[in-house]
Structure 1
Amino acid sequence: MLGRRNSEERAQSNLIASRASEAALKALVGGDVARARDELTAVPKRVEFAETGWKVALVMALTDLSAGKRKNGLNQLIKVFERLDDTSLSKDDKGYLRLYALYRAIENTRDGRPPSALRDHAENFRFDTTLVDPSLKGLFPLKRVEEKPDDVPPPPFPAGMGSTEI
């Protein structure tokens, strides 16, 4: 009975941590660092890194980077990067997250070169993008994509393109 209750509590805390980190990530995408920090306060104190803690730690690093705390953010990003092997993620998911961390580090350094701890590991991995979890790609996109307005009409067809006459 005691083991079952502990596993239920752990599952509950992992769910809360996952939802809080996703909400914080959405706030970061919107540019609201203060709201992201507030969302991260909902994360329980004890979360297993291998289950959901990696996501929380990654979002915390991104929050620090967005707040302008480069050194602390990069150090946290390196810690997450190095501990990804402790998780139960697939090899391709780990490779994708390592590439994501590398890109965020490149964006947040003054000279455009990531720390050597990230560079050294990044040269030795490969992954198949088709095998990466789509929800992971949605949460952590590699490229920063600007949204296009939906009200832009399609370009007109050139003259003579629509006719079927021979």
Structure 2
Amino acid sequence: MFSGRKTADKLREEIRSADSAVGETMSALAADKIEAARRALSHAPKTHFADMGWKVGLAGAMIELKAGKRKQGLQKLITVCSRLDDTSLSRDDKNYLRLYALYRGSEASKDGRAPVELRELVEDFRFDHTLVTPLLRKDFPLKTLDDAEVAPPPPPPPPPVHSNSH
């Protein structure tokens, strides 16, 4: 009678644990600590692709790319992006992740162009950046932290309005 609740609780805990492992992995990669990233990701429990497997797969691809294993990393990016429609992510989140993969694929390629398979996945789409889940933008930023732009200074205050009532 209660086994359904225990199973649901276990699944939620696995998803939370996998999400936490991916966060640690991406932080380690941002600091160029590849082995620490591998260790962090190794703590992620196996989850169904639609639940959290996509995120673990994406982090795994980033480890491969950072370690210089371009072919394996690019293949993992393609695999994850081609299956994003199997998830319950919003359209904006899926398209954001595909664009993220395209950027990382371009950075990893010898000629600065992502593989055709990745480019085909992101052709002709739009997304509203403001609707992308903030945690996705945190773990998978489109720009590398080195390239992060400093916020522009606030605009100057408007000039005082003088009334010309003579």
TM-score (norm. length: structure 1): 0.84
CA distance in 2, matches of 1:133, 1:61: 21
Q: CA deviation at 1:133?
A: 1.5
Contact 2:30 2:145 in 1 (8 A): no
Q: CA deviation at 1:8?
A: 1.1
Q: What is aligned with 1:58?
A: 58
- Within a 5 Å distance, the mapping from 1:1-166 to structure 2 comes to 1-44=2-45, 46-146=46-146
Secondary structure of the corresponding residue to residue 104 of structure 2:
helix
CA distance in 1, matches of 2:119, 2:14: 34
> Identity of counterpart residues, as a percentage?
48
Unaligned 5+ segments in structure 1 are 149-166
Unaligned 5+ segments in structure 2 are 149-166
- Regions of 4+ moved over 6 Å: none
| Alignment coverage as a number of residue pairs | 147
CA distance in 1, matches of 2:4, 2:105: 41
Q: CA deviation at 1:147?
A: 8.0
Secondary structure of the corresponding residue to residue 146 of structure 1:
helix
CA distance in 2, matches of 1:145, 1:110: 22
Return the letter of the residue paired with 1:38: R
TM-score (norm. length: structure 2): 0.84
